[in-house]
A and B are shown apart, each in its own frame.
Chain A
């Protein structure tokens, strides 16, 4: 009896979740085949609520897609003895290999600085760089360079106002992944915000992986490198001999 009372108390004490977000993906697997040329992913969802719609301040949606996180070294060149040499390096501890962030409104309106920091939403926050070497005072410019370089290859995408959000309930957006993405488990997040504060979030996983011939070759090169090397040589020698024989036949015939 006491136990039941406690349980009841626990249930009622839970903060009433006024609004909750749910999400779906057009596919949960991106297959890298030999003719892979990038992929489009449709991310859609809805806001689940038990109360009437509150519109002031308005509800906003942020969608992020993040690739596997790895360390990256960023080099900076300087002129030494007349030639350009890599002089400074900063090891960025963790940077996603792919990162796209789409919002339903202008960036400054959808999320506050504090919430961005807490939930690591913007590209800047998704990258973690702690220790720069002592001699480098402007480590921020290395992070900026990383973002700039990856943005130019469409690996980092900042897309404000690309999430369509209807009646504060239904939303959808499209994220395009370029052909040069790496394999791994990608994380898709949806954050629901009101007045710059995150009120609900939902995340899901997306597998990006090679299939068929691509998968087979990749595995062979990692698991049996001598065999793979020999295969490469056999193909090369056979192709060289084949072409020579074909040309001879062509000339004599």
Chain B
């Protein structure tokens, strides 16, 4: 069954879209990533114009994140205080990112830059996370005592705040900085930023893995809502019909994902996410290096 999308102005298969939304929803619930890094390239592949794919992707992430956060709230695995601090940085960062994006657009080659951004960030984060979790998994198998969280420079900063849910007493500066940089990147790359946020929370802030997912989703809702509004008002590229089909699949998938996520061990969860990130990174890198099928392409009209 085909559906004609009023803003994208193309006709696509409903079930394919529904399945895509569902897949991303499962990931969202399991890992706390919005899935933007996956949904946006897949939408391009289906023939949806890039501008519409980015904007609508953001809108769909709002839905799956709301669904995921509600499930996590019930389980009390959302650090609202930490989420708010991250968000404060995130919104400033997103505004800054949009400014940088428009600056780059004037120079040209923004497409390429976005793609290189993807390859670099996905590559670094994916491999860091993969090896770290592999080591952690081996350690827990040997049955040795888990290493104590070391107190680095992060703990020497002023403006200390108590984050009860995370069991942390640290300065508000690192979370704000994390939120800010993720905000910048998410505006440039057109994603929620969960795949950067999750490892940053684990490794930089030392938050326990079980609250990371819910807190990340909480902050993603607001950043992507902000991005959706921005795209709707400036570029008119949000396709409600496309978002609706994707999000029906997405919200259902997110519920299943959350249920799966609680059954897996934290290290296994991290290895899975790392492999997925590396897979997408590899695909994007190949596209940059391999000779394209057609050297010519049509610009956006």
Contacts and interface: CB of A to CB of B under 8 A. Distances in A.
A78 B109 CA distance: 13
Contacts of B244: 235, 239
Interface stretch (B79-87, B122-130, B289-297): B289-297
A242 B296 contact: no
B133 to A, nearest CB: 29
Interface residues on B, range: 35 or more
B118 to A, nearest CB: 13
Contacts of B11: 36-38, 179-180
B299 A89 contact: yes
Contacts of B109: 85-86
B288 A229 contact: no
Contacts of A221: 6-7, 232, 236, 238, 240
Given A70-B301, A82-B289, A239-B251, A244 B6 contact: no
Contacts of B247: 235-236, 239-240
B1 A233 contact: no
A149 B297 contact: yes
B79 to A, nearest CB: 19
Contacts of B240: 217, 221, 228, 231-232, 235
A243 B289 CA distance: 42
B2 A179 contact: yes
A130 interface: no
B299 A226 contact: no
A75 B7 CA distance: 24
Contact of A244 (B70, B233, B289, B292): B70
Contacts of B292: 77, 84
B288 A182 contact: no
Interface string A51-86: 000000000000000000011111111110011111
Nearest to B70: A244
A68 to B, nearest CB: 11
Contact of A34 (B4, B252, B291): B4
Given A85-B109, A232-B243, A243-B254, A222 B236 contact: yes
A217 B295 CA distance: 36
Contact of B233 (A76, A226, A240): A226
B241 A217 contact: yes
B40 interface: no
A213 B241 CA distance: 10
A73 to B, nearest CB: 3
Interface in A197-234: 210, 213-215, 217-218, 221-222, 225-226, 228-233
B229 A233 contact: yes
A146 interface: yes
Contacts of B70: 240-241, 244-245
Given A76-B296, A149-B297, A226 B229 contact: yes
Query: Chain B CB within 10 Å — which of A77, A82, A231 has the most?
Result: A77
Given A33-B4, A37-B2, A83-B288, A75 B299 contact: yes
A63 B10 CA distance: 26
Query: Chain B CB within 10 Å — which of A82, A222, A240 has the most?
Result: A240
13 contacts: A72-B301, A77-B297, A85-B112, A86-B111, A142-B296, A149-B294, A210-B6, A221-B232, A221-B236, A229-B229, A240-B251, A243-B251, A244-B255
Interface of B: 1-4, 6-7, 9-11, 47, 59-60, 62-68, 70-71, 74, 109, 111-112, 116, 225, 228-229, 231-233, 236, 238, 240-241, 243-244, 247-248, 251-252, 254-255, 287-292, 294-301
Given A74-B299, A210-B6, A239-B251, 20 more contacts: A35-B3, A70-B301, A77-B296, A86-B109, A86-B297, A180-B11, A180-B47, A213-B6, A214-B4, A221-B240, A225-B236, A226-B232, A228-B232, A228-B238, A232-B228, A233-B62, A235-B240, A239-B63, A240-B63, A241-B66
State the 9 A-B residue pairs at the shortest beta-carbon distance, nearest first: A240-B66, A229-B232, A179-B11, A73-B299, A243-B251, A145-B296, A236-B63, A244-B70, A240-B67
